[in-house]
Structure 1
Amino acid sequence: MDPIYEKGQGAAVALAEAATVRPARSGDLDAILAIRNDAIENSTALWTDTLQTPAEGAAWLAAFLDKGAAFVAEHAGEIVGFGVYAPWRTLEGFRHSAENSVYVRTDRHGLGVGSALLDVLITSARAAGYHVMIADIESGNAASIRLHERFGFQDVGTVREVGIKFGRWLDLTIMRLAL
């Protein structure tokens, strides 16, 4: 049985009405892929126009599962969000810095799901020995910026016009949390 994380026990999850967070499993791929591909199609959260195939999604997810760095949020028996963390950069000098990604199904925005996931990601990355967590956020994503600020992330800068999607240039806000 997978552990269920509860607020106040060091690895959290959410308000009971929002979701319960647990480690992701390979069987969660379809729900994760649906959320991920929706973000690709309809938002600037992921800077790609190419939807992820089931085979690509399985390989992508497996890399996180092998490290225990993927979590899902469930509500009423459905996956309503997912979060992952990974090394921020591949060079060994960055080995103690992780980057997080949190995605919530659009019909569950604003209900605490993102908070539940981010809380668990921070706790898990800290337990895994990371020293800093980075969030690279499209600068227009005010909800994600506010979410990270609530957890103590500090804005360390914005890189202007480094991405493009939907025919417009995108700025990248970089946020940092010491773990």
Structure 2
Amino acid sequence: MEVSIRPVEENDAACLARIYNHYVSGTCITFETDPVSAGDMLQRVSESMRASLPWLVAQASGGVVGYAYASKWKGRCAYRFSVESTVYLDANHTGNGIGLRLYAALITAIRAMSMHAVIGGIALPNEQSIRLHERLGFKKVAHFEQVGFKQDRWVDVGYWQLLL
């Protein structure tokens, strides 16, 4: 399958929402509990763009099959060289290397901005996401127990960090 990675466009918002809403409604991977609209997703894209942070999409078979973006880690000025990274794939396109390529492209874009640290949060357990982060050089730096409650259970969150 041929996959291309490109910057997000406004008309991608509905695809992004579709991909994300699978994880909202069926998993504990995100702590969001209500589906998001294309408008909500467009607002999130715009927020990243206003902060001059990258948002990329993976495209295959004529459609968007995944996305990755950077967001501010914290609001205080001293955090300005650190970002949080996020990646989501269409559930039908996991396990075939798209996430690795997409995430690597995001890290390259973040590095080009002279950022210092990339932080990825993972709802646990999630071995697939842990393997992805560690394959890209991230190291586990934190583990918070039972900080989220979704799907009738408590969920831990771990943080992985990549120093650029």
Quickly name the TM-score band, shorter chain normalised. Answer: over 0.9
Name the CA distance, whole Å, in 2 between partners of 1:31 and 1:75.
Answer: 12
Name the CA distance, whole Å, in 2 between partners of 1:107 and 1:18.
Answer: 15
1:65 aligns with 2:54: no
C-alpha displacement of 1:127: 0.8
Name the CA distance, whole Å, in 2 between partners of 1:155 and 1:170.
Answer: 17
Name the SS for the 1:110 alignment partner: coil
C-alpha displacement of 1:106: 0.5
Name the CA distance, whole Å, in 2 between partners of 1:53 and 1:79.
Answer: 16
The one-letter code matched in structure 2 to 1:170 is V
1:4-35, Cα deviation, whole Å (9 max, x unpaired) = xxxxxxxxxxxxx3621111110111111100
Whether the aligned pair in 2 keeps the contact of 1:29 and 1:57 (CA below 8 Å) is yes
Pair 1:22–1:154, CA change in 2 (3 A):
same
Pair 1:104–1:93, CA change in 2 (3 A):
same
C-alpha displacement of 1:54: 2.7
1:165 aligns with 2:150: yes
1:100 aligns with 2:55: no
TM-score w.r.t. the length of structure 2 is 0.95
- Paired residues in the alignment total 163
RMSD of aligned alpha carbons: 1.2
Whether the aligned pair in 1 keeps the contact of 2:2 and 2:61 (CA below 8 Å) is no
Pick the structure with more strand per residue.
2
Name the CA distance, whole Å, in 1 between partners of 2:128 and 2:75.
Answer: 28
TM-score w.r.t. the length of structure 1 is 0.87
Name the SS for the 1:143 alignment partner: helix
Could you tell me which of 37, 48, 57 is aligned with 2:32? 48
